Amino acid sequence: MLPISDAGARAGRVPIVTVAIISLNILVFFYQLSLDARALDRSVLAYGVIPFEITSGRDLAPTIPLPIWTTLFTSMFMHGGWMHIIGNMLYLWIFGDNIEDALGHGVYFVFYLVCGLAAAGAQIFADPASTIPSIGASGAVAGVLGAYLLLYPTHRINSLIFLGYFVRVVQLPAVLVLGFWIVLQLFSGISAAGAQTDVAYWAHVGGFVAGMALILPVFIMQRRRASRRSYER
């Protein structure tokens, strides 16, 4: 199941922050592509989140003149390959505009960063001694998905369904598409417990939960407005 667009109500605001975040990620990715293999490895080590660095305070790439905590932010704008960035940016493009519209540009940007921080925190908590760098916007994007699930569970999502050699586009409710996604992350994270993996499943879970928690005040206000309108009728 692969979401390709949402068929729900379009956002009223132009999603300038979502477009800016996507553009920045793409620019950083093409910069990464310009590096040779050795320089790329150094950049991932220097700017990716390494749980051991955060928990111990020891910098494994001391040649970079930046505090260790800055990797919590720089890692959000780096990716490990074409499928990694395409998947993340596709999800952000589909679901980000509605959340930006609900929160406003400035609050949405802060929301995105906080979800990314929560995602990194969850991954660090899950494996505090890991020396594997974690990069990607997945955790922050997961926060957007969590917020979307809470605010727009009935929005229809155009999704590709793969049935062997046959591919169909079907419209499914967001609660099914995003519910399936987060259950898959939970199952994968539990299954991979104690094993080395290239996917930060617990970062996805942490970002998703943070997104739902942070959007909760907006959800409550929307429900109150809906109840008021219903009462007035």
Tens of pLDDT along the chain (233 residues) come to: 889 888 866 667 789 999 999 999 999 999 999 999 999 999 999 999 999 999 998 888 766 778 899 999 999 999 999 999 999 999 999 999 999 999 999 999 999 999 999 999 999 999 899 999 999 999 999 999 999 999 999 999 999 888 877 888 899 999 999 999 999 999 888 887 666 677 888 999 999 999 999 999 999 988 887 777 665 55
Q: Evaluate whether 77 touches 25 at the Cβ level (below 8 Å).
A: yes
pTM: 0.92
Tell me, what's the pLDDT at 195? 64
CATH number at residue 130: 1.20.1540.10
Quote the domain boundaries for residue 23. Answer: 2-232
Total domain count, the chain = 1
Tell me, what's the pLDDT at 11? 63
Tell me, what's the pLDDT at 139? 96
